[in-house]
Chains A and B, each alone.
Chain A
Amino acid sequence: MLNLIPLFVAVPMGLAFFTLITSKFSKRTSDVFTFLGVSFLAYLAVRLITAGNLDYMVGGWKWPLGIQLHVDKLTVILLLIINVVAFLATLYALSYMERYTAKPKFYALLLLMIAGMNGVVLAGDLFNLYVFLEIASLASYALVGFGVESEELEASFKYLILGGVASSMILLGIAIVYANTGSLNMADIAQFLSTHGERSSIYFVYALFLMGFGLKSAMVPFHAWLPDAHPSAPAPISAMLSGVLIKALGIYAIARIFFGMFGVNEMLGWIMLLLGTLSMVVGVLLALGQYDIKRQLAYHSISQMGYVMTGLGVGALAGSPEVAALGIAGGLFHAINHATFKTSLFLCAGAIEYSTGTRDMRKLGGLYKRMPFTSTATSVASLSIAGIPPFNGFWSKLMIVIALFQAKLYVYAAITVFVSFVTLLSFIKLQKFCVFGELKPEMKSVKEVPVSMVIALVVLALLCLGLGLGFPFIEGFLLDAASGLKELLVFNI
């Protein structure tokens, strides 16, 4: 298994350029190659579950000079999310993207984005993390503006500017870390900082990284780009951006760098907790008033990322290791769950738009009569995100709330529960306007979407239910991953 790790980056990146060449001669080839590629990646990611900790030296160069790919439980969780969601999004895109021109270019950009995200998750040093982060970001800027309507281009431009600012902050932070420690390898830096003690310039790096990665993960003071960018993209890309990209580039990087490399302290814990709570509350309140389905979902992404961040914050703050592990495990599980239900919701919104031609809730209604699969998937995912048992969202929210209570942060626990109620309210509105209610006369001729889209929706709905019912089986894995995250990074050389 160790030998196959570089394929997570090499396969999508090679395929991206290969399909562009073959598509010049035959249009269909890019469909086939992309689908085969993402299926292979999803298979590899599933096989990685049992692999344990691995370290791969690129080019056979020795640690800490060479480039290193690192796999532990956190990486496995992220790789699973990225590649499984990418597989389902591609399956969905096979039919959905027929309406756009330049399908091969879409696949090439999608594959580049997957390669970038896999690279970020696997990178064992800061500079490669930055390079892959840029690859994924640049592909996503182009994909957000893929429809080339004026609104989409505006959203893409806004995202490009803000994302560029974030990237330059991150690069500046990396430069300062390198100047202080003389290394870019994360385990090496962790070792250096723990033996040489704190330096005041590292606090400046905290601020730069929190801003940079906070912007990539759309935490509240830095969230302005997300409600424009995510709805503008084609539906499979909205799903990838909300379901995966903000986690791989934002949450994962924060978890890896602050927990694994710098080592968390109380100050960082409070910052994470406050950022998380603020995102939770502001995101969900802004979502309430929206009538555009995808825009509402985008605001909920901010709110749900707040949950993950809150979980990480409790993990950094809590005194006892059990409570900390519970908080982090809750956050990680919520990241997995968010990938399933938010992907499902965005794909459902895309399916509704595909069939009816509108995303405005006020023009929709009674779709369960015409689109039974899409409606059922929407309902399942809505119940999941609102935290109704037995669906998966319930368990992760419960873990975070319990951890907050045990850490004696009662006010934050109350806020978390309150936000969950408002989320339920917001999704009851979505269901009332779209799925249930009277079928509008102009919607009489609406049909269910093509088979490949239905398969993706059904699989995601089953995942929402399965992760909820199978929670006892994965709890141990999550707690292991969480307690591993609390320790500083040490690579096996």
Chain B
Amino acid sequence: MSNKSKHQDGMSLISKTISSFMTALIALFGFYIAFYGHLTPGGGFAGGVIIAAAFILLTLSHSKKVSLKKFPDIIASLLDNFGALSFVALGLLGFLSGAFFMNFVQKGKAFTLLSSGTILLANIAIMIKVMAGLFAIFVGLSIFGRIVAEGEKGDMR
């Protein structure tokens, strides 16, 4: 009984099972794209979009209730602002050490993960911003959709 009610929202059992496997892998791939943005094609924006897509897949297959429990909209909104703020902060930290957006950490050894100074940090900041922002936009659109739908129901009565 409890098993049945658990599967009431969202899509069929098959899509739920597959998407719960895939979500983690997609998110992991997104992190890879963002963290290796300075070495391979991609970067913070692309990585952030992929991670947001993982959460959107979870929303589509398991319903909004499940995905919002994992990633509440207030956290998404806060992370969105935090990502943008940390990007500007990165620029300002460079500003304190000479010029706006100047590299202020060690450059490291070429072609390794820690090899690009502040570019990696900038990519992470953008990843957070894009991930949270895109997910918040998706949730926001579906919230407005519900309000409109309920309003129409009310009119019909």
Contact = CB atoms under 8 A, between A and B. Distances in A.
Contacts of B98: 60
B103 A59 contact: yes
Contact of B92 (A10, A24, A60): A10
B101 A58 contact: yes
Question: Which 10 A-B pairs give the minimum distances between C-beta atoms?
Answer: A6-B100, A14-B88, A17-B85, A60-B99, A59-B101, A17-B81, A17-B84, A20-B81, A21-B81, A60-B102
Interface of A: 3, 6-7, 10, 13-14, 16-18, 20-21, 24, 56-60
B94 A21 contact: no
Nearest to B79: A21
Contacts of A57: 99
A10 B88 contact: yes
A132 to B, nearest CB: 14
7 contacts: A7-B95, A10-B91, A10-B95, A24-B74, A24-B78, A58-B101, A60-B99
Contact of B85 (A3, A7, A21): A21
A18 B99 contact: no
A14 B92 contact: yes
Interface of B: 74, 77-78, 81-82, 84-85, 88-89, 91-92, 94-95, 98-103
Nearest to B129: A17
Which of A13, A24, A56, A59 gathers the greatest number of chain B CB atoms within 10 Å? A59
Contacts of B78: 21, 24
**Dominant secondary structure of chain B at its interface with chain A:** helix
Contacts of B81: 17-18, 20-21
A6 B88 CA distance: 11
B100 A21 contact: no
B100 to A, nearest CB: 4
Contacts of B77: 20, 24
Given A6-B91, A14-B92, A21-B78, A58 B99 contact: yes
A124 B38 CA distance: 26
A60 B88 CA distance: 17
Contact of A59 (B89, B92, B100): B100
A28 to B, nearest CB: 18
A372 to B, nearest CB: 43
Contacts of B85: 14, 17-18, 21
Contacts of B99: 56-60
**Dominant secondary structure of chain A at its interface with chain B:** helix
Nearest to B97: A60
Contacts of B92: 10, 14
Contacts of A24: 74, 77-78
Given A10-B100, A17-B81, A21-B78, A59 B94 contact: yes
Nearest to B85: A17
Given A14-B89, A60-B102, A21 B82 contact: yes
A58 B78 CA distance: 29
Contacts of B100: 6, 10, 56, 58-59
Nearest to B99: A60
Contacts of B82: 17, 21
B117 to A, nearest CB: 10
A46 to B, nearest CB: 21
A425 B52 CA distance: 57
A20 B91 CA distance: 19
A21 B75 CA distance: 11
A3 B101 CA distance: 13
A33 to B, nearest CB: 12
Contacts of B84: 13, 16-17
B124 to A, nearest CB: 16
A6 B103 CA distance: 16
Contacts of A18: 81, 85
Contacts of B91: 6, 10
B108 to A, nearest CB: 17
A18 B87 CA distance: 12
A57 B99 CA distance: 7
Given A6-B95, A60-B98, A60-B102, 10 more contacts: A6-B91, A10-B88, A10-B95, A13-B88, A17-B84, A20-B81, A21-B78, A24-B74, A58-B101, A59-B99
B49 to A, nearest CB: 18
A14 to B, nearest CB: 4
B155 to A, nearest CB: 16
A1 to B, nearest CB: 14
Nearest to A14: B88
Contacts of A6: 91, 95, 100
Contacts of A13: 84, 88
Nearest to B82: A21
Nearest to A20: B81
B2 to A, nearest CB: 36
A42 B84 CA distance: 24
Which of B85, B100, B103 gathers the greatest number of chain A CB atoms within 10 Å? B100
Nearest to A6: B100
B48 to A, nearest CB: 16
B116 to A, nearest CB: 13
A47 to B, nearest CB: 18
A59 B97 CA distance: 10
A3 B96 CA distance: 10
Given A24-B78, A56-B100, A58-B100, A17 B95 contact: no
A21 B132 CA distance: 14
A325 to B, nearest CB: 34
A20 B132 CA distance: 14
A3 B95 CA distance: 8
